[in-house]
Every structure is written in C-alpha cells, then in structure tokens.
Amino acid sequence: MRKSFPLTIALLLGLALLLTACDPMPAPLQSPSPTQSAAPEGDNSGTGFLNDTMSSVFFDFTVTDAFSCESYEGYTAPENWKLVVATITVKNTYTMTIPMGAYDFQIQWGEGDEDYDYPLSAYCEAQLPDEYELLISESRTGILVYEVPADTKDYSISYLEVYDDDETGDCYFVYFSAPFDKTAGGTL
C-alpha cells in the first residue's frame, strides 16, 4: 500500500496542475434572443429563388410571387421607375414573439452601392404592415411594393440578421425576375 501512495499523490498533483490553466465551466448553450448577440461563426448566408424557404435564426420566409407594373392599388411609380410587387410569407420559428417590419426586406437590382431600396410604406390592405409582431409559430402573408428603375428586370430581396447589440448574422437573398403585368398597372 505504501508504494501506491506516492504514485497517487503524484497523479493528483499532475491533474491539479493541468486543471489550473482551464477556463471556468462554460455556460450552457442557449438559443439566441433578439437582445443577445447571436452572430454565428463562419458564413451561413443563404441564397434561393421564388418559392424557396429561407430559414433565419428567428423566422422562415418565402417569396412566392413577383411582378412589375406601372401602378398598383392607386399608387403610380414616378417617371422612369416602375413597381415590383412581391408576395412574401413569414413564419416565426423562434421561441418568443418577435418584432417585424416591412423594412426588414430590401430589394436589390444591380451591382452599384445605391442599387437597392426598401418597400413603400403600407398604403393598401394587401401589404405587410410597416411594423408588426409575429407570435410564436405564427405565419403572415402579404405583399411588399418597391420602386425600381424602369429598365431593370432581375432582382433579389434580402434579409440581414441584426441584433440589439448591432452585431450582424447571416444574410439571405432570394433571386427572381419580375415580368411586367399589364393587367396590374398599364403599360411601360
């Protein structure tokens, strides 16, 4: 028994020395909340097309349809511009109610730094509200109306995860063409 005592002491001292450089126990993993930074490591940005479901940390969204027109529901685009009307469904997949806004979804149409815009403020009933809340597991479908240059035809609608601490997460793009719909708003 005496021979194993020094060996046991040596092993315990060795373990104690190894553990002194360790960090404290990590906190348990949690789902990110809108008030926490949840910026993931690496690039998990996503791209898709019409009818593809994009899954962010907080919600899923699907752009199901898009067309362009000169006017829509009483609103006419300025000269040299047209409207893109996109139908979008948003579903809360998070564990709490989340604040949403039409301005979460930006449209892009070119490579320039200024080739983007946000949807028009809600002026008709079919549009998603400018601001709203999505309850847990709630879905909402509506349209977003954008002004774009009249000579464009290919677009993307994007969503960038932004947290309360101004950290950003993934960015999601849905690419599509928006054919001109004469029945929706005249001719160009």
Residue 4 lies in a domain: no
What would the pLDDT profile of 124-139 be if each residue is shown by its tens digit?
Answer: 999 999 999 999 999 9
Question: Three-class SS of residue 97?
Answer: coil
What pLDDT shows up at residue 163?
86
- Domain limits at 155? 45-180
Q: What is the CATH number of the domain that holds 176?
A: 2.60.40.1240
Residue 185 lies in a domain: no
**Can you list the residues of the chain whose pLDDT is less than 50?**
1-2, 5-44, 186-188
Token pair recorded at residue 10 = 């040596």
What would the pLDDT profile of 51-84 be if each residue is shown by its tens digit?
Answer: 999 999 999 999 999 999 999 999 999 999 999 9
pTM for the full predicted model: 0.74
